[in-house]
Amino acid sequence: MHELRVNQIELEMQNETLRQAQHELEESRNRYVDLFESAPVAYVIVARDGRLTDANQLATRLLGLTQLQLLEHSFDQFIASCDRERWQERAAAVWAGRLDTPQEHELLLQNAEGSQFPAQLQCGALDRSHTGNTMRIAFFDITERAEAAAEIHRLAYFDALTGLPNRRLLLDRLAQTLAASERKGLYGAIVFLDLDDFKVLNDTRGHDAGDRLLAEVGQRLRAGLREGDTVARMGGDEFVVILDGLGPTRDSAALLAQSIGEKLRQSIAEPVDFGDFAFHCTTSIGVRLFGPGETQAELLQHADLALYRAKSAGRNRVIFFDPSMQAVLDARGILEDALGQALSKGQLELHYQPRFDGTRRVVGAESLLRWRHPKHGLMAPGAFLGMAAQTGLILPIGRWVLEIACAQLAAWAQDPTTRELTLAVNISALEFRQDDFVDQVRKALESTGANPERLTLELTEGATLDSSEATMARSRQLREIGVRLSVDDFGRGWSSLSRLTRLRLQEIKIDPSLVASMGQPGADTTLVTAILALAKSLGLATVAEGVETEAQRRLLADQDCDTFQGFLFSAPLPLDDFQRLLRKAGPCP
């Protein structure tokens, strides 16, 4: 009886232990279910035959089916077809036990409605022996991460304004195209395009209009190319096109490249409608054919040379590179290096072209730069100033000219016969737009003691097209110093007469091309007459540049032109010759 009682107690204790174990097991299972269902990632359990045997709530939401519906499908059905084979290979490795740790993959999944989304997926055997019949898969939607990565890629390789490839991607595609040319034995071409009138639109209508034009040009270029060609924006208003597989011979490739280039040129020339106005833009195009065995750097340089030739030949045309352009470039490089040293070696000098009033008395001069080159002799500014502007050398050269001109004014002021002379200095747009330009003028005047009222700054149209507050402030500050402001070559391109008053100009200089037509049979002098009348109504002084005949002088004098300059009176002279002319002409009135 006692033994029976003991056995009964032991049995009850065992039952209690079993109940406790069952309770703990149930709690553990509930915790697992809670964790499984509330996990921040989607979980599914997959049988060896691919069937889904369990799925949590996030998995049902991402895959677009209820839990019961999911159990009727295999997981393979939710893998996008493009990634299905890759997934099956990795799943097979899990089933075979070849993977000791869970593996992560990025795959494209699709829900029950067929909508696809990128997902990061981790899979592994459910039991630690890797020999079971179930696999656990955890995955989550990485759409936002993928979109962020795509945006980073877009910013790195594409132009934000036009959506076209940028320089980095262009160079990568050019390398691929050159490799394909080598492999296939076909010719291609690289095409440089530069908009001829972009700056005019930007300056007159603002940067928003300029951006719209660039976007429109990008669309037109893309529409005008063949499949497989590349168009990129290099920056500013420059575009580059890569034409691939033009033909097996240079001649056939050149014909096709010429045809495509002309098509692009004509497409860009079509007016762009801005609503309240239409803008006509032309483009200059440089083309460099290439065949097997050519290098990127050489192609880019040659295409740029061809583009430069197209612009210098009159713009709005297609020009192919030829080897003679390289010879010109080499010579230009030598000249550019020499120009960089010309200032320090004392090779630059000023010549002076006198200005005469209506009584043929010298009242001033225009200072004109000359380069006394050790090999080429005396060079006029047309031979080197364009290069100086492109290289930035125009800035130190311009400061030197300003200082020498002010020093000469100060020297003339010491002589009663020359103290009333004025001296004009040409100022480029690049010089005028320097933030410290006014300070440069002020320092040149102060260091030499020159009278600012005898100094005239002749501004090019490019320097005055900008109607920004900075430009207006600069002109106002110069006038406060006492310097006279003149606009050069008036009548050739000016479109806004309001700038004459807003820039506080005191003088206009009539373009020599207008003066040259005067005095000829049947010549139309209407424009010159209008300019002189306009100047008089605004109280502006007038200078006629390029007067070469007595008939021209007489016609201008009859219309009250104030001052004359040109070969009828005198060519530009070195300082000593100019001084002799002054002594011969007598004292300045």
Burial class (CB in 10 A: 0-12, 13-18, 19+), 128: exposed
Identify the band that residue 465 occupies on the pLDDT scale cut at 50, 70 and 90: low
117 and 258 part of one domain: no
Tell me how far apart the alpha carbons of residues 65 and 68 are, in angstroms, rounded to a whole number. 8
Look at strands 484-490 and 42-47 and give their pairing: unpaired
Residue of 570, 553, 550, 571 whose CA lies nearest to 561: 553
In terms of domains, do 174 and 289 share one?
Answer: yes
- Residue range 524-562, pLDDT digits in tens: 678 888 889 988 988 999 999 999 999 999 999 999 999
Backbone angles phi, psi at 276, to 5 degrees: -90, -5
547's tokens = 């007067």
122 and 168 belong to one structural domain: no
β-bridge partners, 14: none
Q: In 408-470, at which residue ranges do the beta strands (DSSP E only) sit?
A: 422-427, 455-459
Which of these ranges, 74-78, 102-106, 296-300, has the smallest mean pLDDT? 102-106
Last residue of a domain, one of 292, 321, 350: 321
pLDDT score at 32: 56
On whether residue 333 sits in a domain, the answer given is: no
Tokens of 520: 């000829």
pLDDT band at 88 (very low <50, low <70, confident <90, very high): confident
Total domains in the chain come to: 4
Whole-number Å distance between alpha carbons of 264 and 225: 8
Q: What pLDDT band is residue 189 in, cutting at 50, 70 and 90? A: very high
Task: Identify each DSSP E strand in 207-301 by its residue range.
Answer: 230-235, 238-247, 272-273, 278-279, 283-290
Residue 130 binned pLDDT confidence (cut-offs 50, 70, 90): very low
403 and 298 in a single domain? The answer is no
Q: How far apart are the first and last CA of the chain?
A: 152
In the prediction, which pLDDT does 426 show?
Answer: 95
Average of pLDDT values for 480-505? Answer: 76
Last residue of a domain, one of 91, 124, 157: 157
pLDDT > 50? residue 169: yes
* Six token digits for residue 288: 């460099």
529 and 386 housed in the same domain: yes
Residue environment code for 22-49, b if the CB has 16+ CB neighbours within 10 A, otherwise e: eeeeeeeeeeeeeebeeeebbbbbbeee
Same domain, 88 and 128: yes
Task: Give the amino acid at 65.
Answer: L
Query: pLDDT tens digits, residue range 218-271?
Result: 999 999 999 989 999 998 999 999 999 999 998 899 999 999 999 999 999 999
The answer as to whether 503 is a domain residue is: yes
Question: Is 328 within a domain?
Answer: no
- What was the pLDDT predicted at 24? 56
**580 lies in a domain?**
yes
The mean pLDDT value for 108-135 works out to 80
121-125, 270-274, 495-499: lowest mean pLDDT where? 495-499
Q: Which DSSP state fits 294?
A: -
The answer as to whether 331 is a domain residue is no
Instruction: Tell me the C-alpha to C-alpha distance, in Å, between residue 287 and each of 77, 225, 332.
Output: 52, 15, 21
Query: Torsion over CA of 211, 215, 216 and 219, rounded to 10 degrees?
Result: 170
pLDDT of 58:
87
pLDDT exceeding 90 applies to what percent of the chain?
Answer: 44
Q: Which amino acid is at 470?
A: A
Judged by DSSP in three states, 88 sits in: helix
260: nearest Cα among 273, 242, 272: 242
Quote the CA–CA distance of 419 and 410 in Å, as a whole number. Answer: 8
What SS3 state is found at 104? Answer: strand
Does one domain contain both 168 and 116? no
Q: Are 491 and 514 in contact (CB under 8 A)?
A: yes
- The residue range of the domain holding 141 is 39-157
Q: Are 155 and 215 in contact (CB under 8 A)?
A: no
Assess contact for 123 and 90: CB atoms under 8 A: yes
Q: What is the mean pLDDT of the chain?
A: 86
Q: Is the pLDDT of residue 397 over 80?
A: yes
Q: What is the CATH number of the domain that holds 239?
A: 3.30.70.270
Residue 272 domain flag: yes
Domain assignment present for residue 29? The answer is: yes
Three-point CA angle 241, 243, 248, nearest 5°: 160
- Written as one letter, the residue type at 12 is E
Residue 148 lies in a domain: yes
Q: What is the CATH number of the domain that holds 107?
A: 3.30.450.20
What local confidence, expressed as pLDDT, does residue 464 receive? 63
In the block, which residue shows the tokens 């930007």? 202
Q: Residue 127: CB partners within 8 Å, gap ≥ 6?
A: 134
Q: What is the pLDDT of residue 383?
A: 84
Say if residue 151 is in the same domain as residue 171: no
Chain CA centroid to CA 356, Å: 46
Residue 457 has pLDDT above 80, yes or no: yes
Q: What are phi and psi of 468, to 5 degrees?
A: -70, 165
d(CA 95, CA 106): 19
pLDDT at residue 495, as a whole number: 46
- Between 424 and 31, residue with greater pLDDT: 424
- Report d(CA 313, CA 319) in Å as an integer: 9
Contact 274, 228 (CB under 8 A): no
Regarding whether 80 and 212 lie in a shared domain, the answer is no
Percent of the chain past pLDDT 70, that is, above it, reads: 86
* pLDDT at residue 407 in the model: 97
The tokens of 234 are what? 């290099």
Regarding whether 362 and 316 lie in a shared domain, the answer is no
The number of beta carbons lying within 10 Å of the beta carbon of residue 248 is 12
The pLDDT tens digits of the residues spanning 41-58 come to 888 999 988 899 989 888
Same-domain check for residues 181 and 300: yes
User: Do 312 and 431 lie in a common domain?
Assistant: no
Express each pLDDT in 204-224 by its tens digit: 888 899 999 999 999 999 999
Q: Give the mean pLDDT of 489-494.
A: 68
Domain boundary at 266, 286, 321, which? 321
pLDDT band at 369, cuts 50/70/90? very high
Helix (H) / strand (E) containing 489: strand 484-490
